[in-house]
A = this chain, B = another copy of it.
Amino acid sequence: MTSLKDHTQAGHGRVVISVDAMGGDSGPATIVAGISLSAKKNPNIDFLLHGPRDELEKLVAKRRVLDGRCEIRDAAGVVSMEDKPSQVMRHGKDTSMWSALDSVRDGDAKVAVSCGNTGALMALSMIRLRKLPGVNRPAIAILWPSRNPQGFNVMLDVGADIRADAQDLLQYALMGASYARNGLDLQRPRVGLLNVGTEEHKGRAELKEAYELIDSHREKGKFDFVGFVEGGDIPGDRCDVIVTDGFTGNVALKTGEGTAKLIGDLLREAFAYSPLSRLASLLALTSLRRLKKRIDPRRVNGGVFLGLNGTVVKSHGGADAMGVSSAVKLAFELAASGFGDRLAARVASAAMLAQDDAEAETGQKESDKP
Contact = CB atoms under 8 A, between A and B. Distances in A.
Interface stretch (A10-18, A59-67, A211-219, A251-259): A251-259
A231 interface: yes
Interface in A53-89: none
A287 B295 contact: no
B251 A231 contact: yes
B295 A263 contact: yes
Contacts of A287: 270-271, 273, 277, 280-281
Given A236-B258, A256-B259, A277 B284 contact: yes
Contacts of A342: none
Nearest to A204: B162
A250 interface: yes
Contact of A248 (B236, B251, B269, B295): B251
10 contacts: A162-B204, A231-B256, A232-B254, A235-B261, A252-B252, A259-B260, A270-B290, A273-B290, A280-B280, A280-B287
B258 A235 contact: yes
Chain A: interface secondary structure? helix
A127 interface: no
A196 B235 contact: no
A196 B162 contact: yes
A203 interface: yes
Contact of A280 (B266, B273, B284): B284
A243 interface: no
A286 interface: yes
A208 B277 CA distance: 48
Contact of A231 (B235, B254, B277): B254
Given A159-B196, A203-B162, A232-B257, A291 B277 contact: no
B276 A283 contact: yes
B204 A231 contact: no
Interface string A232-243: 111110000000
Contacts of A262: 145-147, 235-236, 295
A260 B255 CA distance: 11
B291 A267 contact: yes
A251 B254 contact: no
A258 B270 contact: no
Contacts of A112: none
Given A232-B254, A263-B291, 7 more contacts: A162-B204, A196-B247, A234-B258, A248-B251, A251-B251, A266-B295, A280-B283
A266 B291 contact: yes
